[in-house]
Each structure stands twice: as structure tokens, then as C-alpha cells.
Amino acid sequence: MDRSEFADRLDEELRTDDYADLDASANGLQVGHREGDVERVALAVDAAGATIHEAIERDADVLLVHHGLAWDGFDRLTDLHYDRVAPLVREDVALYVSHLPLDGHQELGNAAGVADVLGLRDREPFGAYGPEVVGTRGTAAEPYAVDDLAARLDRELDTETQVLDFGPDEIREVGIVTGSGVDWIEAAAAAGLDALVTGEGKQAAYHEARDRGVNVFLAGHYATETFGVRRVGDLLEEWGIETTYVEHPTGL
């Protein structure tokens, strides 16, 4: 597939332009020419030295990630920024990034993947971010006990979930905002949810969860955000593009 067609089709599928004024990440084709062919794509959560070099080793034409390199632009392309960009340019490996668009996508997104793991039904968009959303919500097919929901996340995401156990003992209504999503505790409480599942926490989240009476499950930033790039990989396979997943968990 032509690289420009590859980028344009993904931008349309992920609604990249709709998040352009909301996201600090420069989404879409972030490094590389639009000219050239795309036969093999490496998928990773993060664009970092380890994943960039692994994508090159696997002879990828594109590295597609959730967390890219440009956040509110580059002041200078020096030091660590240069060390990461230079191999991509030298080896002509493009970098395609989808941050918030891949969080909010209701089929391919990270939150949608976690919702599948938990078997949630009757799903709706959740996690307002300006006019868009960055998560999803749904109803458990059978109510979860707090420990059972944490155990399922641990098993399915290969993680160790920390629980702020301040909500109902029986969990039916669940909101999901992956990564760093504790800013939506208030929204979860306002929506009458029993639990919020996210990745990592902040000190203030403990008291807010307690005061608002919401269970919060912190299942790891990386662990909750592998779904999106993998699902985009499935889509690319349908387009006739070979994919490979570069697994590099952070434990965070």
C-alpha cells in the first residue's frame, strides 16, 4: 500500500482530525515522507529507543504507536529527541501516532478492549474531553465483586491491579478511561457508576475516590493501552499489510 494512502485511511478510520485541537500529541504521520510503500508495520505502545530499534530490526516500513515523540511540538531536535528520530530517518521508517483518537474509538480503542475483557454490555461513550470522548462505559453481564474484577484484570492484562476500594461491594456499572484516567472519577460518580477502570493514579485520586464513593481500579498505564495498536494491527492485516507487535512493558 502507498504510504500516503495508508496514513489517510487510518486518519479517517481513527478520526484523527477531530482530536487535532484537543490532543497535545501530534497524531497521524509524525515522522517520515508520505511517499513510499507500506508492506510491514511494527506496532508498539510507546515510541522509544527500544521499540524504534526493534522495528528497524524487524524490517518495518512504519512504526505505529499510541505514545509518539511530538508533544506540543519540538523546541529543538537535539539530544534524546535526535537519538530517537535519527534512526527512523536514516532507515526510512515512518512513525504513525494515534493517542487520544485511539483511546476514544469505540471499536478499535484501548477502552473498548478493556470493556471486552470485562464482558461489558450496553456500552456508551464515556470520558468527555472537550467535544470528544476518551473512554467507554458499560454494564457487567453478571455483577463483579471487587476482588473478582481486579483478578480478571490481572489475569487478562498480565498486570497487578491496585484497587481504591471505596465504592459498592457489587459492581455492575463500569467506566473505563485507560492510561492516566483518574481525572474522570468525578464523571464516574456523576454518572452513577460503581467503578472506574484506568491505568495509573495520582495522590489526590485516593481521597476523591473515597469522598465520592467510587471503586477505582489502577491496572497499569501500559497494560491498559496495548489493545488499540493491536486492534489497528488486525485492521491492517485485513488491508493486506503484514504486522508485528513489539512488546515492551514498563510495569507502570
Sequential DSSP letters for 93-140: -EEEE-SHHHHH-TTTSHHHHHHHHHTEEEEEEEEEETTEEEEEEEEE
* Helix pair angle (110-118, 227-238), 10° resolution: 100
**66 labeled binding residue:** yes
By the 8 A CB rule, do 29 and 47 touch? no
**67 labeled binding residue:** yes
Q: How far apart are CA 62 and CA 40, in angstroms?
A: 7
**53 labeled binding residue:** no
Q: How far apart are CA 215 and CA 236, in angstroms?
A: 36
* Helix pair angle (3-14, 227-238), 10° resolution: 130
**103 labeled binding residue:** yes
Output the nine-digit C-alpha cell for 176: 473505563
Kindly report the number of other CB atoms within 10 A of residue 26's CB atom: 19
Q: Rounded to 5 degrees, what are φ and ψ at 178?
A: -75, 170
Which parts are annotated binding residues for a divalent metal cation? 66-67, 103, 221, 225
Which parts are annotated binding residues? 66-67, 103, 221, 225
